[in-house]
Amino acid sequence: MIELRTPAEIEQMRPAGRFVASVIEAMLDRAAVGVNLLELDALAHEMIRKAGAESCYIDYHPSFGASPFGKVLCTSVNDAVLHGLPRDYRLRDGDLLSVDFAASVDGWVSDSAASIVVGTPRDEDLRLIDTTRRALDAGIAAATVGNRIGDISAAIAEIARAEGYAINTDFGGHGVGRTMHGDPHVPNDGRAHRGLPLKPGLVIAIEPWFLETTDRIFTDPDGWTLRSADGSRGAHSEHTIAVTESGPIVLTARD
């Protein structure tokens, strides 16, 4: 069921957005050569505790997950692009790290993701990351009253295709509110002027993610981490936004 939020409810969602943004910033600041993924997860866990927030991940067990997730942060490295289960791995020079985080504050959820290169970057990785960011910006710009979900999807896809990236639509954006995942689904490819009309009060996560040379993925033996079928690298950018009469509000905007 799709729920529309009142202006007052959108204001109530702002603290969750600010908290999620602060955790993403902290993860990107802490990530460095030699840092263990479990250290990042522990830091996020401590920030949740201090804020009195609640993790959306730790007990999460959808049909595509092998078991409850058990961690509070998704850390996807190199050929992993989504749902990366933190493990005993120390980041190496040149690793492409994607961090995804969602939490609830006072009963309201926000969800966000970002990718960086740790240490010495490859030009190919920087271009991939930049494409996800620009696609996210394009999707947000299309999230206006009177447009449709397909306009967001088409805007994302236009950026990806211009850079030569294929697009997987198995996983994409989604409704956000009292829970992390809700209706509507917001695919990263679609036809403009099609799909659900965008109305004031719709709150969604928009999340472009692309792989360097494929659109096919498989699930790692850990039962969660999604990796590229050909070993190429992936990047992921995401914000939670609210559709309003005066334009989209990015609830998870980072400083």
> Is 207 annotated for ligand binding?
yes
**DSSP H stretches of helix in the chain:** 7-30, 37-51, 123-141, 149-162
> Is 100 annotated for ligand binding?
yes
Q: Is the peptide bond before 208 cis (omega within 30 degrees of 0)?
A: no
> Is 185 annotated for ligand binding?
no
> Is 163 annotated for ligand binding?
no
Structure tokens at 20: 């999620």
| Distances, alpha carbon 88 to alpha carbons 35, 41, 91, 122, in Å | 10, 11, 10, 24
DSSP state of 168: -
> Is 29 annotated for ligand binding?
no
Dihedral angle, C-alpha 97, 98, 102, 103, nearest 10 °: 20
Residue 165: φ, ψ to 5°: -95, 140
> Is 88 annotated for ligand binding?
no
Transcribe 84-122 into DSSP letters: ----S-B--TT-EEEEEEEEEETTEEEEEEEEEE-SSPP
Q: Exposed/middle/buried for 164, CB within 10 Å: 0-12, 13-18, 19+? A: exposed
The three-state secondary structure class of 11 is: helix
> Is 3 annotated for ligand binding?
no
Which residues are documented as binding site?
Answer: 83, 100, 111, 174, 181, 207, 238
Binding residues for substrate: 83, 181
Binding site per annotation, positions for a divalent metal cation: 100, 111, 174, 207, 238
